[in-house]
Amino acid sequence: MQQKENHPWNWFAPANSKTLIIGTFPPTKRNWKYDFFYPNTANLFWRMMARIAKTELQHFSGEEAVNERRSILEKLDVAISDMGSIILRNENSSLDENLSIVEYMDIFRILDENPLITKIICTSSSGKVSASKWFSEFLKNKELTHKFPKGQKPIKSEIMYNDRIIQVVIAYSPSARASNRISFERLVEIYRNEIVL
């Protein structure tokens, strides 16, 4: 069974955002602990971001968890979004491979509203559905040609948007499922090196 879903939050961008991190789409709601990005506490994303921000997570559910995670993004000047604005989800599954895109998030609008952003980090690239693949398709739909180079992650490239050079990086996925490919310490190191501070 397929169900159509709208993104619950669109994006969150602190006033001085310099880096935009993009994923695919939130997991199915039964896996949420709070109403914000990466709401499944099995995902390593917020643990990683807290480490980069030199803080420890204190809250794991409800509005306090949301506020804590927003504060981390504000401290790091990081905006966050997903590529999917509207998706079709198969079998009520949280796996990216069970998602298909209906409408992309308007990444260019995020860039327009946040002129200090100079880097986009895609959180996934493997499988038939990933943040980097959906980002490339979004660019193609906007008639902007871009191809990620091959190689070891982090994979780096750039796009030109409205006379702005935007670096685009594919990092490792912070999902628990992908965590057997890379140590947590290495994951933190990669994202720390790529976030524009």
| The pLDDT of residue 31 is above 90 | no
Angle at 78 between CA 72 and CA 84, to 5 degrees: 110
**CB half-sphere exposure, 161, CA atoms < 13 A:** 23
Calpha distance 48→194 (Å, rounded)? 13
Query: Is the pLDDT at 125 greater than 90, yes or no?
Result: no
Cα 1 from Cα 74, distance rounded (Å): 39
**What percentage of the chain exceeds 90 in pLDDT?**
73
Residue 127: is its pLDDT beyond 90? no
What is the predicted pLDDT for the residue at 96? 67
**Looking at the predicted structure, is the pLDDT value of residue 48 above 90?**
yes
Report the mean per-residue pLDDT for the chain. 92
pTM of the model: 0.94
- Whether residue 26 has a cis bond before it, omega within 30° of 0: no
pLDDT at 175: 86
Residue 155 is encoded by which pair of tokens?
Answer: 């994979």
Residue 83 neighbours by CB distance under 10 Å: 28
Tell me the domains of the chain and their CATH numbers: 2-194 (3.40.470.10)
4 has a pLDDT exceeding 90: yes
Instruction: Return the closest-CA partner of residue 166 out of 124, 126, 108.
Output: 108
Per the CB < 8 A criterion, the answer to whether 136 and 36 are in contact is no
Q: Categorise residue 62: left if φ over 0, alpha if ψ from -120 to 50, beta otherwise.
A: left
